[in-house]
Amino acid sequence: MIKFQYNKTSLQGLDKQLKMRVRALPTIKNKESALRSEVKKAKQVADEFNVKLEDTLNSLNDMLQLYDEYKEDILVVKDVRMSVKKIAGVKTPVLDGVDYEVKDFSLFNQPGWLLDGVEYIKEVVSIALEKEFFTRKMELLDKARKKTTQKVNLYEKVQIPGFQEAIRKIKRFLEDEENLSKSSQKIVKTRKLMEE
């Protein structure tokens, strides 16, 4: 519900508010469209990483029984490097890289496959992290898209029609007031003429 008074000042204020929303609406719609597209892309990439992760784990399935011999502290994720990229005004995370630390170990006391195993684990961790980053990106963009859609609906279905209706009411009131004023002036003028 839009609050207003029946005067020219209120009319000008409402007109200004209406024009601002009408000008902003196409921009907001474009943003919503861009966000919708980016959400779709991010979901697609996250799904691709999901499939890639499953395929990688399935390809390692035969080797998994050997991992009983693997010591967990040999490979450690030292740092996950990330940056932020703005997409349609929304800050999203970007994975720049992963730094690993491989602890020193004796090749003579460990199984021969251990070096390959370390590389496979790095690959699995990298894929899982990429998937996680794209999932988070998708969630952030989708949240922003929903807010933008709400704003579009608010402008289109509530505020713009509300301002238009309020302006229409004020104009009618002011016209009626002006007509009454003119009519009363004519009556006064006619009475004066009759009195003379």
Domains and CATH numbers, the chain: 8-189 (1.10.287.3240)
pLDDT of residue 123: 87
pTM of the predicted model, to two decimals?
0.74
CA 12 to chain centre: 33
Cα separation of 112 and 47, whole Å? 34
pLDDT of residue 118: 78
* Model pLDDT for residues 145-159, shown as the tens digit of each residue: 999 999 999 999 999
DSSP one-letter string for 15-61: HHHHHHHHHHHHHHHHHHHHHHHHHHHHHHHHHHHHHHHHHHHHHTG
Residue 150: how many CA atoms within 13 Å on its side-chain side? 6
pLDDT of residue 9: 93
Cα separation of 53 and 77, whole Å? 18
pLDDT of residue 116: 73
Q: Considering only CA atoms, which of 116, 34, 133 is closest in space to residue 75?
A: 116
Residue 14: how many CA atoms within 13 Å on its side-chain side? 24
Cα separation of 32 and 158, whole Å? 18
pLDDT of residue 183: 87
Residues of the chain with pLDDT under 50: none
pLDDT of residue 48: 93
Number of residues that this document lists for the chain: 196
Q: Considering only CA atoms, which of 113, 81, 85, 111 is closest in space to residue 97?
A: 81
Helix (H, G, I), strand (E, B) or coil at 88: coil
